[in-house]
Structures are given as C-alpha cells and as structure tokens.
Chains A and B, each alone.
Chain A
C-alpha cells in the first residue's frame, strides 16, 4: 500500500482517505518503527521545511518550478538523517514516496495537506518528546 495522492489525477479528484485513514496509517507506522528514532523534533524539521517552501510559493516570491529542486532535496536530507539514525527507513520511504508524486503545484498542495494531517496523527501517537 503506497501513498496515492489522487484518485483520478486527470480530473483532480483527490484520494478521499489521504488526509485521514492514510495519514493515520503512516503516522502509526513511523511511530512504531523505532522508539529512539523518528522523534517529533526530527520529523518536525522536515515539516517546517515543507511549510517554508509552501509559504514561498504562496507568497509568489518564487515560481513552483524554481522551488521544486529544493523540495526534491528533502529526499537527500532524509537519506542523511537516516544515516545519522535520527529517523528510520519508514519515514525516509514516506518522504521519497511522496516526493516522487510531486510534478506540479497541485501535487505539492496535496503533499502539504497530507503532511499536516500526518503531523496531527503523529502528535497523537507520540505526544511527548521522545
């Protein structure tokens, strides 16, 4: 089961479970993967970065095409974090799975919302900083 953004990409029909059941499932998976890794603070770093790109795009300081390479760099950052054992394979997989689906602004919008939902659930599964 991957993370499918769209139910019907051509007609822009979003996967209705993406922000709920799937976000929940992924949060649980990442949480279960390792007690000493995937700490909320680590995950939060990635989320903050995504939010930063989002606000740049929204404020039209930069065009999506210009920002996309930076977004894709998150994949490398995830690999690095995995190497440092800050996160687990599961979270790195999640990031690359998502990034591979981002081709235009709409895709990125979906990703931002998905990540937000993921964070909501993640906070639920791992309420304390550990």
Chain B
C-alpha cells in the first residue's frame, strides 16, 4: 500500500483544522504571522484572507509531537510536507496541494465561479458567534417554499462535544462575543487534552481512525463555513471527511494515470471518481434463522447476529478500502447496512472491487447458502457531478446501479444448483448433527461442548458461525472494546472459530500484547463499542456506535418474585431462576415477565416488539434537502443515524423505566426493539416525542411505528413479522386532514401520534377506575364492544350509500351504552360520590364517539395490565 495515501487523507481531514484553532483562541504570534502569512494566505484588495489556513499550519507545527512521527518527517513519502498539504489549500502551488484544494471545493459543491466568489469571502467580525444550524429545520416538502436564511432559523446545536444530549438541537439564543469565544476556547482546550491521550500514536493506520473519532466528537458541532450568505449547517467534521475522501481518490487517480500535474488535476469533466456502494441483503433471514434451540438462547444469539451484520458491513467497507489502497476515511456515508466509498475511477480499482466482491460473497454463500449477501456496485463520476445542481442525478445513478446488483447478485450459472458437499459435511458423532441454533448448517466438531453453548445443564452442538454469534452476544455486554486482527495473528484468549471473510479475527478480551500485534501489522482495528453516556463519548481510541443496549441481570433479580407468577410448572420456574446470572443478558422470557407490576403482581406476561422508521426518507433526501453537496448529505445522514445509534441506546441504558428493553437493531433510519409490552408502548410514544425535538418539530420529517404484543414462547421470526405488518399499516395511514403516515399501530388499530398520546391518557384513567373498582373487567369488554360498533357506525356514515337493516345495529351503540351504564356503573357508590363517578364515567361515551375503534388501544392495554 502506498503510504502517501495516509498523508493525503489526513491532510484532507486537517485542512480546515485552523478554523477550530482560530476560533478556539490558538495563539498565533506576530513573528509566525510575519514569516508565514504570505506563504499560506491568499489576498484580496491587498488584504490577506482565509486566515484559518495559516492557523492550520501553525497548529500542525504546534502539535507535531502529538501526531504520528511519520507525518512530520521530511523524508516520508511525497515531496510535499504534511503541513503544506493541509494548509496550502487556498493558495495551492504544487500538484498535491492542488489535489487538496480541488477536493475542498468539490466537497462544498461549489461551481468554479461560486468558489471564486466564496474565496473572496471576508470573515465577519462576530464569526465566533455562529453556531451550527440544523439541516432538519430547513427540510421542506411542501410546495410553498419556506425561504430559510440564516436569521429565521429557530434552533441550532450547542457548540460542544458530541454526546447523547448535545446531539439534540437547542433554541437559538443570542450569545455575547465573550461567551461565544469562551465556548470555543473550552472546546479547543478539551480537544487538545484528548489529543494528547489518543492511543497508538506510533501506529499511524490505527491512529488515523482514532483521530477520526476524536475529530468527530469535537468538530461535529462546529460550523464549517461562516462567511457570506452560506447557511452554516454543515459541520466542520463532515466537510473535512468528504474533502479527505475526495483528495485520496484524486491522488490515486492521477498517480495511476501518471497525470499528477496541476493542469490535469484541475480538469472537472473527466470521470475521475468511482462511488462504491455496498448493501447488505437478507438481514431478516440472517437475524431470524432458527432451529430447535433458538428460542432458549435467543437474546444472546440475536444480539450476536445483529452485531455481526454491522460487523460484516463495516468489514466489507474496510476490505474494499484496503484492497483499493485507500484509508478507512474514504468511506463517507454509512447507514443501515449501506455504505458509500469514494475511490478513484481506474481499472485497477474496479479489479480490486471485483476481487473483494468475489471473496466476500463466496464466503457468505458458503456460510449462509445464499440467504445473506453483500451487493457491491460502483458508479463513475466527474468532479462536476458533485456540484449542487448535479448531485441528485449522481445519487440517482448510484442507487440505480446498486438496485441492479441487488437483482443480479448471484451468477446463477456459476453459483446456482445444489450444494453438493452439504450432506457429506455432517458429522454423525455429534450430539446434534444439525446446528440447533440456525437449523441450517451442520454442527462442527471443533465447537462440540463449547462452554458458550451450555444451556441449563446441557452442553451441546452448534455450527461455528452460530457459536461465534453466541460468543459475540455473550461478550458484548461485558466488554467495551473489540479488537480486529488478521486471522493468522497470535491471539491469547477466546476469539472467532470462523474468522469473518476468512480474513478478520475478532477478540473482545485483549490485554497487554496489543501494541506488539499492532506493530507487526496484525492488529487491524481497535474499537470502543460501549454505549455513549451523558458525560460524553470515549475518546482514547476509535468509537463505533454498533452496540445496542441489552438488559442484563442484576443481583436484585434473584429476589424478584414475579418469576413465580402465572401457571408455570415447577421445572419452568426452576429454569427461570437458574438463568439469572449477574451481568448476563436477560432471556426474552424474563423480559416478558417484567411487564407484570412489581407490587400488585398484576399484568400480562408478554413481549412488545417495536419496529419504527422514518417516513419518506427517499423523498426527503431528493426533494426536501436543499443546496445539496456531499458534505451536507454526509452531515444529514450522520445526524439522522445518531438519533438511532446514540440516543436510543443511551436512553435505554440511562432510564430505569426502560432498562428491560432490548435492542435488536437501532441505526440509520430505523429501530427494532423488544421489551415488556407495556414499557414498549410507553417508549414508542416517548421516542416519537424525542424524535420531534430532534428534528426541530419539522412536520415534514416524521416517523412511523408498529407494535405487536406476543407471548414470549412464540418464535422471534413471527414476532418480527407481526410488528412488520403493524408498521406497514402505519405507513398506509391517512389522517382526517389528508396527511399520510406519521402513525402508530397497536392491537390492530392505526392512529396518528397525537391520538395515540390522547388515548394513552385515557388508558391511565381506565386503569385508575379499575383499581378503585369503579368499573370491572366486564365493563371493559363492553367498552371494547361499543368501540367496535362505533367504528362500524363511522364507516357506515362515511359510506353514504344504502344502510340496510342488518347494518343498523351499530347505530344503536350510544343507547346501549347508556343502558349498560345505568345498570352497571358505580354500583357500590352512593350519594355525591356516585354522582361524581357517574359524571366521570359518562366521559367514556364521548371518548368512544371521538376515537371509535382506536379505543381498543387503551381498553386492551388496561385489560392486559390489570389481568
């Protein structure tokens, strides 16, 4: 691998770091200024402009000792020094400096003329007061355009480190120059402090990824551009990342074509770039494949599988970058199983992509018999295609190319037909010949009686893949770090039995020897995967938000007598008690039991499965997002992802009400959770409110959800299907005002979120009435009957056709309600109290009349909660 690529990639990432330094109060002394301003700064009307470039240079010089030593060594790689590569982007003189300059411009989506105008831009006096605005606020799908200029935004992000709380926008307030500077200074100081502590400085490939995380944490809320009329909603981090990726691709392109000249680099009408898109297919089958023992180990297994999907996606991107001679910084968009990489458009790269494709999918075919696969497509592009008015059609092409691959992902002629070795691969000496976890692969002698496979008192068989997934599921909850090695590296302690893509070995408990392995080139990745906490995100190594929240047993679970509820056999009870081991993931059966009220022991033991995703994301990206460029797209998709990958796990792990909710998946634009059914209902509603805050209450960005309530003994695949159907219903919802989607489905009823909030409150009243014996269960069933009649009545009246005598029945529900009311309501109450109660109860008729069928939701919630 050409190590210069690291120099270029980091220069791209660092090119605007001077903006941070300048705003953060970095001290630029006069002598340095006099000696270097002329070198780095362009001028306009005889005045220097773009001071930040000078700050970039000065800052790099200042932190020399904190960078990997190679970066400041004169004889490492290319002629240009790292410092000049990063800092000469507004006054480029050499071909390599031009590469960074062109990448900078391209990532901002400027046309050449706009760029020159921008280049004259003089920093306003109060530039430190500018805070990052939110793209969400500007999304607009309605025809009557809201004109957004800088001043009519109501929200912005706090200038601060990335954390589960700071990712939410706050109301925009005027800030004094002094406070604005102070905030920047504090942030900058913390950045320097953390930079000093960054690990693996001597292994630049690891360090680069670590630094990327650090920059993400500190530069995500710094606006990239503050001059002129630019809307400051692109973060410095995303702009820098995009610049880095484009610069890297350009460098390899021109090197490969032997055209590293300024003239060639400036050409915009050549297809210099290759957008590589990877997409994971078969996620459902991957997660929900089942055998006889699946349900018993399901919590661990599912967690392992879902993490494995993230891992496979990450490592596919890594392998492509590796094979193409690019750094991990070339991956620019990542969401929900899809990644986009910017590479140079050369034959060598296309061959490399094909090699990776072959290797990865052969492995997947061998292990998953074609159920899971990764589509890898590529699309060539000119620099000019990234400009604001062309980027939509570029992404349309990328999506189309990716779709095409999806439909032709197997070469049937080569890969189709019977897996001829399948039957002969079974070993009849094993206790279970077919893996009891996936029900597909043969069990493997190598993992027979592996201690991870112990269920109750039995040890057992499994295939290596399922064993590895259980290995992940077991270790995720105990470990904050994951190390990825070359498969032949020497590793002490447990690791995968079947290295991913026959290349990547995974280990959780690596201590000591890391540095040695890193020096030997055996350690490829070292990630922190702990869930972000309020106080911030871990800062000493690379952070990946891949680990959802999983409920684990605590010591008090041993004293929980809810496990004895219901008509369980003694054996089952014993089994449930035996499962409780501190810090081990809770089984779904245990999670279901947490739906029972701890005090009264009332309630139904059942699981709630919540599936939710953002409505019309494609339309939002295409029509809602204005002034598109690659940096803005990156900021938008990353910010969206953080709601699911940072906020959701944070909320689950930090709020005691939700500690029993289990993440199957949360990231990109969707989430998939399992928990005690009643907690899931509350969480769904809360999450929608949080999402509203997250997107500045923009009515054009909405989320829909489907909830299914099931017994824990049902196969997880079925639960997933039910919740999927429920979500589908929400997506088809049309409100009275004509608005589509933005809805939730529960107990077979689909309602808008507003209605959902109102009827949940009704549910609280019903529960209170049951508790005070104002009504009984029979009454609830009557209410349920009336609500279904009211629903029929509503449908009938909307029909405006013949109403036949057979259909009349439902028209009488109000009268029946009254009749029933007098006969049953408030029987055991007298006098004034009775009057008061009757008045309260009378409200029910109004509710049923208003909400008709939707009343099923609070009624059944109450029935299940008080059973």
Residues facing B in A1-57 (CB within 8 A) are 11-14, 16, 18-20, 23-24
Report yes or no: B805 in contact with A19, Cβ–Cβ below 8 A: no
| CB < 8 Å neighbour of A124 from B800, B804, B821 | B821
Minimal Cβ-Cβ distance residue in A for B800: A13
A109 within 8 A of B: yes
> Which residues of B from 581 to 601 have beta carbons under 8 Å from A?
none
Q: Which of A63-71, A81-89, A95-103, A113-121 is the interface stretch?
A: A113-121
- Contact (Cβ within 8 A) B811 A20: yes
Q: Which residues of A lie under 8 Å from residue B115 when comparing CB positions?
A: none
> Do A124 and B797 form a contact, CB below 8 Å, given A13-B803, A24-B814, A106-B805?
no
Q: Is A117 in contact with B815, judged by CB distance below 8 angstroms?
A: yes
Find the residue from A13, A113, A116, A124 having the highest chain B CB count within 10 A.
A124
The answer to whether B819 and A119 touch across the interface, beta carbons within 8 angstroms, is: yes
Select A12's contact among B802, B816, B823, beta carbons within 8 Å: B802
- Name the contact of B815 in the complex, choosing from A16, A110, A116 (C-beta under 8 A): A116
Q: Is the CB of A124 within 8 A of B822?
A: yes
Which of A20, A110, A113 sits near B814, CB closer than 8 Å? Answer: A20
Which B residue's beta carbon lies closest to that of A21?
B814
Give the secondary structure class of B's interface.
helix
Interface residue B818 (Cβ < 8 Å from any Cβ of A): yes
Is B812 an interface residue, CB under 8 A from the partner? yes
A12 to B802, CA, bound (A): 6
Contact in complex: B815, A24 (CB < 8 Å): yes
B44 within 8 Å of A (CB atoms): no
Q: A120 contacts which of B797, B804, B805, B812 (Cβ < 8 Å)? A: B812
The CA of A72 and the CA of B704, in the complex, are separated in Å by 58
For residue B787, give the distance in angstroms from its CB to the closest CB of chain A. 15
B829 within 8 A of A: no
**Does B802 contact A120, Cβ atoms closer than 8 Å?**
no
Determine whether B48 belongs to the interface, using a CB cutoff of 8 Å to chain A. no
Least Cβ distance of A10 to chain B in Å? 11
A116 and B812 contact, CB distance less than 8 A: yes
Q: A12-B802, A12-B803, A13-B803 are in contact. Are A123 and B819 (CB under 8 A)?
A: yes
Closest chain-B Cβ to A97's Cβ sits at a distance in Å of: 18
Interface residue tally for chain B (C-beta within 8 Å): 21
The smallest beta-carbon distance between A73 and chain B, in angstroms, is: 24
Task: Tell which of B801, B808, B822 touches A19, judged by Cβ atoms closer than 8 Å.
Answer: B808
* Distance in angstroms between the alpha carbons of A19 and B804 in the assembled complex: 14
Residues of B within 8 A of A127 (CB): 822
The residue of chain A having its C-beta at the shortest distance from the C-beta of B801 within the complex is A13
B residues near A119, Cβ cutoff 8 Å: 815, 819
Given A11-B802, A109-B805, A16:B818 Cβ within 8 A: no
List chain B residues, Cβ under 8 A from A24.
814-815, 818
Q: Determine which residue in A19, A109, A127 has the highest number of CB atoms from chain B within 10 A of its CB, and name it.
A: A19
Please state if B811 and A18 are interface contacts (CB–CB under 8 Å).
yes
Contact of B818 among A18, A106, A120 (CB under 8 A): A120
- Closest CB-CB distance, B316 to chain A, in whole Å? 61
Among B805, B815, B822, B823, the residue within 8 A (CB) of A118 is: B815
Closest Cβ neighbor of A105 among chain B residues? B805
A12 → chain B closest CB, angstroms? 5
Are B812 and A16 in contact, CB atoms less than 8 angstroms apart? Answer: no
Q: B170-194 interface mask toward A, CB cutoff 8 Å, 1 = contact, 0 = none?
A: 0000000000000000000000000
Cβ B815 vs Cβ A19 within 8 A: yes
**Nearest-CB residue, chain A, relative to B808:** A113
The answer to whether B812 touches A123, judged by C-beta atoms less than 8 angstroms apart, is no
Contact partner of B804 among A12, A18, A123, CB < 8 A? Answer: A12
Residues from chain B with a CB closer than 8 A to the CB of A118 are 815
Given contacts A106-B805, A109-B805, A120-B816, contact A14 B822 (CB under 8 A): no
Shortest beta-carbon distance from B837 to chain A in Å: 14
C-alpha spacing A3/B804, complex, angstroms: 19
Q: B805 — which chain A residues lie within 8 A by C-beta?
A: 106, 109, 113
B808 touching A123 by the CB < 8 A rule?
Answer: no
CB distance from B314 to the nearest CB of A (A): 60
Residue on B nearest A23 in the bound complex, by CB: B815
Which B residues between 773 and 820 are near A, CB-CB below 8 angstroms?
A: 796-797, 800-805, 808, 811-819
Question: From A24, which residue of chain B is reached at the shortest CB distance?
Answer: B814
* Chain B nearest CB, measured from A54 CB (Å): 12
Interface pair A117/B822, CB less than 8 Å apart: no
Residues of the A chain whose Cβ atoms lie less than 8 Å from the Cβ of B800: 13
List the B side residues contacting A23 at CB < 8 Å: 814-815
Q: How far is the CA of A12 from the CA of B822 in the complex (A)?
A: 33
Q: Which residue of B lies closest to A18 (CB)?
A: B811
Q: How far is the CA of A110 from the CA of B808 in the complex (A)?
A: 9
A47 to chain B, nearest CB (A): 12
Q: Is the CB of B811 within 8 A of A19?
A: yes
Selected from B808, B817, B819, the residue in CB contact (under 8 A) with A14 is: B808
Within 8 Å CB of B815, what residues of A? 19-20, 23-24, 116-121
For the complex, give the distance between the alpha carbons of A81 and B816 in Å: 27
Assembly CA distance A117 to B813 (angstroms): 8
User: Could you say which of B797, B813, B818 contacts A123, with CB atoms under 8 Å apart?
Assistant: B818
A79 to B796, CA, bound (A): 37
- Nearest-Cβ distance from residue A41 to partner chain B, whole angstroms: 15
Say whether A19 contacts B803, CB under 8 Å: no
Given known contacts A12-B803, A13-B803, A123 and B822 CB-to-CB distance under 8 angstroms:
yes
Q: How far is the CB of B759 from chain A (nearest CB, A)?
A: 22
Contact with A along B815-835 (1 / 0, CB 8 A): 111110111000000000000
Shortest distance in angstroms between B590's beta carbon and chain A's nearest beta carbon?
48
Q: Choose among B803, B808, B818 the residue that contacts A121 (Cβ–Cβ < 8 A).
A: B818
Min CB distance, A44 to chain B, in Å?
Answer: 13
- Cβ of B812 and Cβ of A19 under 8 Å apart? yes
Residue in A14, A106, A124 whose CB lies within 8 Å of B811: A14
Q: Which B residues are CB-close (under 8 A) to A16? A: 796-797, 803, 811
Cα of A124 to Cα of B822 in the assembled complex, Å: 6
Cβ-closest chain B residue relative to A6: B803
Question: Which of A18, A106, A110, A120 touches B819 (beta carbons < 8 Å)?
Answer: A120
B812, B813, B818: the one within 8 Å of A113 (CB): B812
- Complex CA–CA separation, A116 to B816 (angstroms): 9
Residues from 711 to 751 in B contacting A, C-beta threshold 8 Å: none
Kindly name the residue among B814, B816, B817, B818 whose own CB sees the greatest number of chain A CB atoms within 10 A. B818
What residues on A are CB-neighbors of B822 within 8 Å?
123-124, 127
CA distance A120 to B816 in the complex (A): 6
Query: Are the CB atoms of B814 and A19 closer together than 8 Å?
Result: yes
Give the CA-CA distance A120 to B782 in the complex, in Å: 15
Closest B residue to A127 using CB positions: B822
| C-alpha spacing A13/B801, complex, angstroms | 7
For the complex of A and B, the 6 pairs showing the least CB-CB separation, nearest first, are A120-B815, A117-B815, A124-B818, A120-B819, A20-B814, A19-B811
Contacts A11-B802, A12-B804, A120-B818 known; list 15 others, CB within 8 Å: A12-B802, A13-B800, A13-B802, A18-B811, A20-B811, A23-B814, A24-B814, A113-B811, A117-B815, A118-B815, A120-B814, A121-B815, A123-B818, A123-B822, A124-B822
The interface of chain A, by Cβ under 8 A from chain B, is 11-14, 16, 18-20, 23-24, 106, 109-110, 113, 116-121, 123-124, 127
Q: List 16 A-B contacts (CB under 8 A).
A: A12-B802, A12-B803, A14-B803, A16-B796, A19-B812, A20-B811, A20-B812, A20-B814, A23-B815, A109-B808, A113-B805, A117-B814, A119-B815, A120-B817, A123-B823, A124-B818
